[in-house]
Amino acid sequence: VLSSSLPRLVREFVAQNNTSQIKHVIQILSQEFALSQHPHSRKGGLIGLAACSIALGKDSGLYLKELIEPVLTCFNDADSRLRYYACEALYNIVKVARGSVLPHFNVLFDGLSKLAADPDPNVKSGSELLDRLLKDIVTESNQFDLVGFIPLLRERIYSNNQYARQFIISWILVLESVPDINLLDYLPEILDGLFQILGDNSKEIRKMCEVALGEFLKEIKKNPSSVKFAEMANILVIHCQAADDLIQLTAMCWMREFIQLAGRVMLPYSSGILTAVLPCLSYDDRKKNIKEVANVCNQSLMKLVIPEDDEVDEAKQSMTLPAEPISEESLSKPEAASSGESEPLEVWGRSELDITALTQPLSFPRSSERIQVTLNLDGIVQVLDCHLHDTSIGMMTRIAVLKWLYHLYIKTPCKMFRHTDSLFPILLRTLSDESDEVILKDLEVLAEIASSPAGQTEGHGPSDGSDVRPGPVELHVPARAGQLNSSGTKGLECSPSTPTMNSYFYKFMINLLKRFSSERKLLETRGAFIIR
């Protein structure tokens, strides 16, 4: 009956344009057969729905909801044979309808994602055929609803089942390959899930995920102006600290590209980035690749800090004015973009940019003009201070921390001197470090603090009054080539006259003498080295 009478009957109804009778036939096949309590009736109903779809031909698109729903219900049948017949029935329905099934894509995808992990090999084989057919339809169509699909993809991407993960990645690769589908716009929604899949136990799945992430990164490099860097920064910060080497290396490579492509847009995330990057600088040769990429991240991030960051207080006030437009005059003076690989590129604001960092950055005006970024110095100093207090960190990390402090005192001396009182004790304790190189970098920071003109301004200086002499202390020492000029930036030359030390020099010398007095071993082993 199903193989001959039903198709003929349906074709007659189609010729008569008898919609109500067609719906009645589908309803009987669904309710009385496909959804029956008896397995044989369910099998017959599935075959009948497929035959009905074939008979409807192009008109099947008008009845797809009624045809698809009972078949998808059978995907959950306890009998593996019925799940297989459901795959076969849906394959025939989709094959006839082609592009008309796209409005129902989400329910089809949801069903297929479950069958991808089916324990029965025949069911899996049937679902793979249906999956390939659906991928062909999506690839050849320009009507795919990506916006409606993303929430489902975001949910399914966190599956822990290997087959489900493989299914998800295969679909991401397909969608990436379709020119009319811009998946890059929605990358922030799925990036975290992709990095989690990258840690799968299956080498094949890890490789597929690597390929998918690689394709995304290529696209980011081609179109940096359309990338939502800020929305993905914290995702990378988290995965740059992963225990899995592949995840950590991949995330660190992405971080390197983000810093170099997005430039100062990444500055509000500096404290998080440094938390992830600094420990990697002390890795041994077993993690050499991660260490090298982390070093590039660190250097590139450091270059983003500029002397103008020392003058942000006024800019911050102007930025917080309600709906204050950016003047044409200010826009006519853009910073020159460097062609250097590690220099930040010009980055322009996006209205949908959502900057919510672990580091609690300032809010930016949502505008189509260039984003003005405020350096979150407090967060950076807190991270550097924390790493300097941690006795378990490696030598290269300690050196990097001290280089950062020196760099910040050079580039942003006025703002850094607000932190000097809290940093001073740990800088003094670091003189007892086992490494000569660490001590040397520490002394460079202390020398910069002691000689910086920023430390001579009112309101700065050590809080411990017992160590302060009333008035500047003049020492007859050779002038340093790197002496700060009045603008707060390093000059190429310096005056041969004696530099005037600020009150921190006196505090440093008193504390150093006390330290030598209480730690005779320090005096004997490092005294001459430190004094020189």
Q: How far apart are alpha carbons 62 and 514 in whole angstroms?
A: 89
Say how far residue 432 (Cα) sits from the centre of its chain: 38
Residues 258 and 270: beta-carbon distance below 8 Å? no
Domain-terminating residue out of 226, 259, 294? 226
Output the pLDDT for position 408. 97
Of residues 363, 400, 361, the one with CA closest to residue 275: 400
Q: What confidence tens digit (pLDDT) does each residue in 135-177 have?
A: 999 999 989 999 999 999 999 999 999 999 999 999 999 999 9
pLDDT, position 375 = 87
Task: Give the best-scoring range by mean pLDDT among 269-278, 312-321, 473-482.
Answer: 269-278
Q: Work out the average pLDDT over 223-247.
A: 97
pLDDT of residue 502: 84
Confidence of residue 4 (pLDDT cuts 50, 70, 90): low
User: Does 137 lie in the same domain as 4?
Assistant: yes
The residue among 208, 226, 244 that closes a domain is 226
DSSP assignment string, 3-46: TTHHHHHHHHHHHTT-HHHHHHHHHHIIIIIIT-SSHHHHHHHH
pLDDT given at position 315: 44
CA distance 219 to 289: 23
Domain housing 154: 145-226
Grade residue 21 by pLDDT with cuts at 50, 70 and 90. very high
Residue 361 maps to a domain: no
Percent of the chain with pLDDT over 70: 80
Q: For the domain that residue 153 is a member of, what is the CATH number? A: 1.25.10
Contact 453, 484 (CB under 8 A): yes
d(CA 301, CA 217): 19
Q: Which pLDDT score is estimated for 313?
A: 54
Give yes or no: residues 150 and 104 share one domain. Answer: no
Kindly state whether residues 3 and 28 are assigned to the same domain. yes
For 80, half-sphere exposure in the C-beta direction (CA atoms, 13 angstrom radius) is: 10
Contact 388, 285 (CB under 8 A): no
By mean pLDDT, which of 101-110, 278-287, 455-464 is the weakest?
455-464
Q: What is the C-alpha to C-alpha distance for residues 457 and 378, in angstroms, rounded to an integer?
A: 20
Region of 240 on the Ramachandran plot (φ > 0 left; ψ -120 to 50 alpha; else beta): alpha
What six digits make up the tokens of 161?
């089942």
> What is the rounded distance in angstroms from the CA atom of residue 56 to the CA atom of residue 93?
10
Answer yes or no: is pLDDT of 345 > 50: no
pLDDT number for residue 31: 95
Residue 499: what pLDDT?
A: 55
CA-to-CA distance for 29 and 27, rounded, in angstroms? 5
The percent helix, strand, coil of the chain (3-state, each to 5) is 70, 0, 30
Tell me how far the alpha carbon of residue 263 is from its chain's centroid.
14
| Token pair of 157 as six digits | 């991407």
Residue with tokens 């009736």: 41
Same domain (yes/no): 16, 132? yes
Q: Does residue 398 belong to any structural domain of this protein?
A: no
Instruction: Please check whether residue 150 lies inside any domain of the structure.
Output: yes
* pLDDT for the residue numbered 503: 87
pTM of the model: 0.80
In a domain, residue 288? The reply is no
Residue 526 has pLDDT above 60, yes or no: yes
How far is residue 345 from each of residues 311, 335, 353, measured CA to CA in Å?
22, 10, 17
List pLDDT tens digits, range 42-52.
999 999 999 99
Higher pLDDT: 471 or 344? It is 471
Measuring CA to CA, how many Å separate 269 from each of 103, 145, 387, 531? 40, 33, 17, 38
Which of 177, 193, 226 marks a domain boundary? 226
Beta bridge partners of 484: 490
What SS3 state is found at 240? coil
Question: Can you list the alpha helix ranges (DSSP code H) found in 359-518?
Answer: 377-389, 395-411, 413-416, 420-429, 436-451, 503-518
127 lies in the same domain as 158: no
| Site of tokens 């001290």 | 402
Q: Residue 169: inside a domain, yes or no?
A: yes
Task: State the pLDDT confidence band at 335, using cuts at 50, 70 and 90.
Answer: very low
Asked if 61 and 191 sit in the same domain, the reply is no
Of the listed ranges 23-27, 79-83, 95-99, 475-479, the least confidently predicted one is 475-479
Sign of the dihedral through C-alpha 23, 28, 33, 36 = positive
Query: Is residue 9 situated within a structural domain?
Result: yes
pLDDT tens digits for 367-408? Answer: 333 457 788 999 999 999 999 999 999 999 999 999 999 999
**Cα–Cα distance measured from residue 114 to residue 173, given in angstroms and rounded to the nearest whole number:** 19
Q: Please state, in angstroms and rounded to a whole number, the distance separating the CA atoms of residues 367 and 522.
A: 56
Displacement of CA 132 from its chain's centroid (Å): 31
Count the helices and strands in the chain (H runs, E runs). 24, 2
| Residues 138 and 161 grouped into a single domain | no
Give a yes or no: residue 423 inside a domain.
no
Q: Give the span between the Cα atoms of 21 and 354, in whole angstroms.
A: 53
The number of distinct structural domains making up the chain is 2
pLDDT digits (tens, 9 = 90+) for 451-509: 988 887 544 444 443 344 434 434 344 444 444 444 443 433 344 444 567 889 999 99
30 and 2 assigned to the same domain: yes
Asked whether residue 437 carries a pLDDT value surpassing 50, the answer given is: yes
Gap between the Cα atoms of 53 and 474, Å rounded: 96
Determine, yes or no, domain membership for 360: no
Model confidence over 117-143: pLDDT tens digits? 999 999 999 999 999 999 999 999 989
- In this predicted structure, the answer to whether residue 81 has a pLDDT above a threshold of 60 is yes
User: Same structural domain for residues 114 and 159?
Assistant: no
At residue 181 the predicted structure's pLDDT band, cuts being 50, 70 and 90, is: very high
User: Kind and range of the H or E element at 298?
Assistant: helix 288-303
Mean pLDDT on 190-199: 98
**Residues 115 and 184 reside in one and the same domain:** no
Q: What is the mean pLDDT of residues 279-288?
A: 96
CATH code, domain with 41: 1.25.10.10
Same domain, 125 and 30: yes
Among 168, 229, 220, which Cα is nearest to 196's? Answer: 168
DSSP run (H or E) holding 473 = strand 473-474
CA distances from 266 to 15, 146, 228, 347 (A): 64, 28, 11, 10
Q: Would you list the DSSP string of 433-458?
A: -S-HHHHHHHHHHHHHHHH-GGGGST
> 138 and 1, same structural domain?
yes
The answer to whether the beta carbons of residues 380 and 409 sit under 8 Å apart is no
pLDDT confidence of residue 465: 39
Least-confidence region, from 209-223, 286-300, 346-360, 386-400: 346-360
Q: What is the pLDDT of residue 328?
A: 33
Band (pLDDT 50/70/90 cuts) for residue 358 is very low
Question: What per-residue confidence (pLDDT) applies to 3?
Answer: 52
